[in-house]
Amino acid sequence: MNIAILGLGTVGTGACEAAARSEAIKVRWIFVRPGKKVALEYQDLITSDIDDIINDPEVDVVCECMGGETPAYEYVMAAMKHGKHVVTPNKGLVSAHYRELVDCARENGVALRFTSSAGGGIPWLFNLLRTKRCDTITRVWGILNGTCNYILDTMHREGSDFDQILKSAQDLGYAEKDPTADIEGIDTLRKCVISGDLAFDGDIDPDSVPAFGISTITAKDISWFKAKGYVCRLIMSASRSEDGVSAYVEPTLFRADSLEAGTGANNNLVSLEAEELGIQSFYGQGAGKAPTGSSVIQDVIDIATGTEMLPGGYYHLPAGSTPVDNSTCTHRYYIHISNDCQGFPFQIVAEQEEDKDGFYLITKPVPVSQAHSIAQEFRSNGSFFMAGIQE
């Protein structure tokens, strides 16, 4: 099977290397932006004209590894309209344009695969879809951002401040120069949307999913957690509700003997719960050149061999966006807020400590929607951090 790879960054290079290990796959083109320097071994495959790929009848699959929404969206839509299958690890693209991509694939009779867009090299979406074939999934959740997990795990082990560990993560290549998408939960939110879409046959609007990241966590928060026997991890969660889904991203406190607490460094751990199967968890490297690049090529091989993991409903989405309702999902929260917090609803508080740095609160069980509304209001007024508590 002939493929074209769009982009020769970390993932694109990993896909090229994985393709070279498969006798069934041949890289026919590599698209790069004009002026980009490429390794000598790829020179004969390079083009900066996307039409070379779109109009080549010998190209069976286009692997979009560029990242971002534009021009990736335009390129993959054009590829599918020209009868080419598409594989992409681009979580931003898939979460933002899920319906348009699925509709275009269906209308043109091509495959759209994106199992590397959440979990990287972990066979997460693959097994989620496999489970759906004969069971009903009720919930998905887990750690899906290696950058945040590295920062939180290191803070727990070393007791260092957030800014110091973020700098270390950047030096090691675990965090981008601009880490906003990771530390504010945006990357995890996109993976939450994709996982929820597939688990619940939905079309979740990313703007309807609240996300609270880890950028305001302090070493003192970590010290408090450790004293109480907790470990903090950034978690995405999506579950079925009566009229739609509950979906959110937030730091969460787990007991030290939990699987999530034991997931260290930049690893991922993601789980599903199904009515018959119960809970299944998947662990491993969630990003990087080799894991994600190999997952891209696994999707290509599935297309080549006719392996179809997607249930029939995948190509027939319900009308309109899937409603997100977090008002019926309730649990306790840890909240650290500055002493100057006029208007804070202390009536939700069950336990309270105070020092010169602020209040350390444990709430009664409150709806997720209320907690995120409080976070949105008080985070802008000063020091604020919150984490859900896994009971």
- Whether 62 contacts 76, CB under 8 Å: yes
DSSP per residue, 21-65: T-TT-EEEEEE--TT----GGGGGGEES-HHHHHT-TT--EEEE-
Taking the C-alpha atoms of residue 188 and residue 238, their distance in angstroms, rounded to an integer, is: 12
Of the candidates 302, 309, 307, 300, which has an alpha carbon nearest to the alpha carbon of residue 20? 300
- Whether 386 contacts 377, CB under 8 Å: no
Residue entry with tokens 């991890």? 233
Taking the C-alpha atoms of residue 42 and residue 51, their distance in angstroms, rounded to an integer, is: 19
Neighbours of 50 (CB within 10 A): 18
DSSP per residue, 67-116: -SSTTHHHHHHHHHHTT-EEE---HHHHHHSHHHHHHHHHHHT--EE-TT
Of the candidates 387, 260, 259, which has an alpha carbon nearest to the alpha carbon of residue 332? 387
- Whether 233 contacts 225, CB under 8 Å: no
Of the candidates 256, 180, 179, 193, which has an alpha carbon nearest to the alpha carbon of residue 225? 256
Q: Is 220 a catalytic residue?
A: no
Catalytic one of 36, 191, 226, 289: 191
Of the candidates 51, 10, 43, which has an alpha carbon nearest to the alpha carbon of residue 27? 43
Taking the C-alpha atoms of residue 350 and residue 179, their distance in angstroms, rounded to an integer, is: 35
Of the candidates 34, 261, 3, 283, which has an alpha carbon nearest to the alpha carbon of residue 152? 261
**Known catalytic residues?**
191
